[in-house]
């Protein structure tokens, strides 16, 4: 059995993805301040949470102390974890 105490202080990047949108370069270049981009998820759908590019959980957006946060609603089983690019 390994003693994993030493890895507990290694920083990781957590990313919450609440939608995506594909654009052609010409459409991207035409964007102006105030433009609204419609994303692929509906309001109220869970967002995907990634740790270092690996899908680890789903959750819902909350606001606490004037900041956005994520309330975890589903932890992805280790056997089902895949990278953000797969």
- Domain for residue 27, yes or no? yes
Helix H segments across 1-86?
Answer: 25-29
Q: What is the mean pLDDT of the chain?
A: 87
- Could you tell me the two tokens for 67? 């900041």
- Domain for residue 2, yes or no? no
Q: Is the pTM of this model over 0.95?
A: no
Residues 86, 42: Cα–Cα separation, whole Å: 22
- Domain for residue 41, yes or no? yes
Predicted confidence band of residue 82 (pLDDT cuts 50, 70, 90): low
Kindly report the CATH number assigned to the domain that includes residue 46: 2.30.330.10
Q: Note the pLDDT tens digit of each residue in 41-80.
A: 888 899 999 999 999 999 999 999 999 899 999 999 776 5
If one counts the domains in the chain, the total is 1
Q: Is the pLDDT of residue 84 over 70?
A: no
Domain interval for residue 51: 12-78
With beta carbons less than 8 A apart as the criterion, state whether 15 and 54 touch.
no
Residues 38, 21: Cα–Cα separation, whole Å: 7
- Domain for residue 21, yes or no? yes
Q: Is the pLDDT of residue 24 over 60?
A: yes
- Domain for residue 3, yes or no? no
- Domain for residue 84, yes or no? no
């Amino acid at each position: 059995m390994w003693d994993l105490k030493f890895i507990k202080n290694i920083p990781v990047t957590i990313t919450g993805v609440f939608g995506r949108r594909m654009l052609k370069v010409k459409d991207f270049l035409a964007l102006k301040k105030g433009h609204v981009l419609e994303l692929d998820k509906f309001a109220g759908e869970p967002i995907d949470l990634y740790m270092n590019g690996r899908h680890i959980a789903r959750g819902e957006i909350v606001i606490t102390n004037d900041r956005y946060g994520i309330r975890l609603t589903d932890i992805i089983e280790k056997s089902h974890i895949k990278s953000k690019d797969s």
